Structure 1
Amino acid sequence: MKLLIGNRNYSTWSLRPWLVLRHFDIPFEDEVLMLSGDGWREALAARSPTGKVPVLIDGDLAVPETIAIIEYLADKFPEKAIWPADRRDRALARAAAAEMHSGFTALRNNAPMNLRASHPGKVDLDAVRKDLHRIGQLWGEHLGQSAGPFLFGEFCAADAMFAPLATRLRTYALPVSDTVGAYVEAIYSLPAFQEWLALALKEPWIVDDDEIDVIQGRVAPGTIV
């Protein structure tokens, strides 16, 4: 199998299935497709059915969309416990993953994932306060039930879905509870995440659309090095 991904530093949707594949020791290759530069949209459209990443290639099957990829992997490798074994926990994990997929737009829009950066104080807290409250409520509830370190005890697909959001909390030093902070540390301590992070830190590419200093007008596009 091959997973087509975007730049590791910025591509939140690529990170999610990559973590599932690596953490659960499923053999695969990955290939980075650029999310900036001349002709990048055309090059991506030539490889992806949706013109977006990630895409999982398994033989002659191309599966786009992160949730669909994770469900495909869960079906193909049922012994891997990608979702919790308990039916109740599995339902709640899928609900949490779906909420992440469709929600938290304020955090996603105002605090783009940028693993190389540290930008404390640059996010308008009023703009993301509601999302921060919901994160504390949702993570706190599941961690309280499971006793951690991950939402349902052991790392599962729901944690992979929330991993990019956890990085945003650290990059922008957003105010969170001790419980939420401990969960962020658990994500960062995951060996699979550490591997992704190390590769992201070596990337030379800049995507202006995901750089908060460009978004907020502090620097001109094309000037970050």
Structure 2
Amino acid sequence: MKLLIGNRNYSTWSLRPWLVLRHFDIPFEDEVLQLSGEGWRETLAKRSPTGKVPVLIDGDLVVYETLAIIEYLADVFPEKQIWPADRYDRALARAAASEMHAGFTALRNHAPMNLRASHPGKVDADAVRKDLHRVETLWGELLTRSGGPYLFAEFTAADAMYAPLATRLRTYDLPVSDTAARYVEAIYALPAFQDWLSQALQEPWVVDDDEIDVIQGRVAPGTIA
């Protein structure tokens, strides 16, 4: 198997299936397709049916959407319990993952993932308050039910889906409860996440579209080293 991913520092959708593959010890290779620079869109268009990442290649099969990749892995490796084993929990996990897939647009738009950065105070909490309230409610209910440290006690695909959101809370120091803060710590403590993070911190590339100082006009595009 090969997973085509974007820059580790910024690519939220790439992080999600990568964590599943890495945490559940599924053999795979990855290849970074940069999300900036000369000709990057053309390169993506040649390698991905949608011109986006991630893309999973397994023999002749090409799976090009995050949740579809995760579901394919769950089908191929049922013994890994990528989703919770309990049917009730599995339904809740899939609902939570689908909500992340389709929602939280304010957090996505106002607080792009940037693992190398620390930008406390640069995101208006009022602009993302509704999303913060919803994620607090969702995480709180699931963590109370499971006892933590992950949404269904053990790490599952649902946690992989929320990992990028957890990084946003830390990068921008957004106001959250102690329960949410502990969950963010649990995500960061996961060995698979630490592996991704260590590689992200070594990347030299900058994607201006995901840099808050460029987005908010504090610095000009192309000036962040």
Partner residue in 2 for 1:143: 143
**CA–CA distance in 2 between the matches of 1:34 and 1:44?**
8
Match of 1:215 in 2: 215
Q: In the alignment, what sits opposite 1:110?
A: 110
Q: What amino acid is aligned across from residue 20 of structure 2 in structure 1?
A: V
> C-alpha displacement at 1:29, in angstroms?
0.2
The unaligned stretches of length 5 or more in structure 1 are none
Distance 1:133 1:139 in 2: 10
Match of 2:67 in 1: 67
- Alpha-carbon deviation of 1:144? 0.2
CA distance in 2 between counterparts of 1:170 and 1:125 reads 13
Shift of 1:200: 0.1
Aligned equivalent of 1:179: 179
Q: Kindly report which structure 2 residues correspond to 1:70-109, keeping only aligned pairs within 5 A, or say none.
A: 70-109=70-109
Q: Please tell me the residue identity of whatever aligns with 1:9.
A: N
1:42-86: per-residue Cα shift (whole Å, max 9, x none)? 000000011000000000111001000000000000000000000
- Aligned mates of 2:45, 2:164 — CA distance in 1: 24
Which residue number in structure 2 is paired with residue 167 of structure 1?
167
In 1, distance between residues paired with 2:173 and 2:4? 30
**1:1-39 deviation digits (Å, cap 9, x = unpaired):** 000000000000000000000000000000000100000
Task: Give the match for residue 122 of structure 2.
Answer: 122
For residues 34 and 168 of structure 1, the distance between their equivalents in structure 2, rounded to whole angstroms, comes to 21
Amino acid corresponding to residue 102 of structure 1 in structure 2: A
TM-score w.r.t. the length of structure 1 is 1.00
Question: Where does structure 1 differ by over 3 angstroms across 4 or more consecutive aligned residues?
Answer: none
Amino acid aligned to 1:223: T
TM-score where L is the length of structure 2: 1.00
Q: CA RMSD in A?
A: 0.2
Match of 1:10 in 2: 10
Question: How far apart are the structure 2 equivalents of 1:166 and 1:136?
Answer: 11
Mind listing any 5+ residue stretches in structure 2 that lack a counterpart? none
Give the total of aligned pairs.
225
Paired with 1:30 and 1:125, the residues of 2 have a C-alpha distance of 35
- How far apart, in 1, do the equivalents of 2:119 and 2:106 lie? 17
Identity value in percent: 84
- How far, CA to CA, are the matches of 1:44 and 1:107 in structure 2? 25
**d(CA) in 2 for partners of 1:132, 1:197:** 23
CA distances 1:119-176 after superposition (whole Å, capped 9, x unpaired): 0000011100000000100000000000000000000000000000000000000000
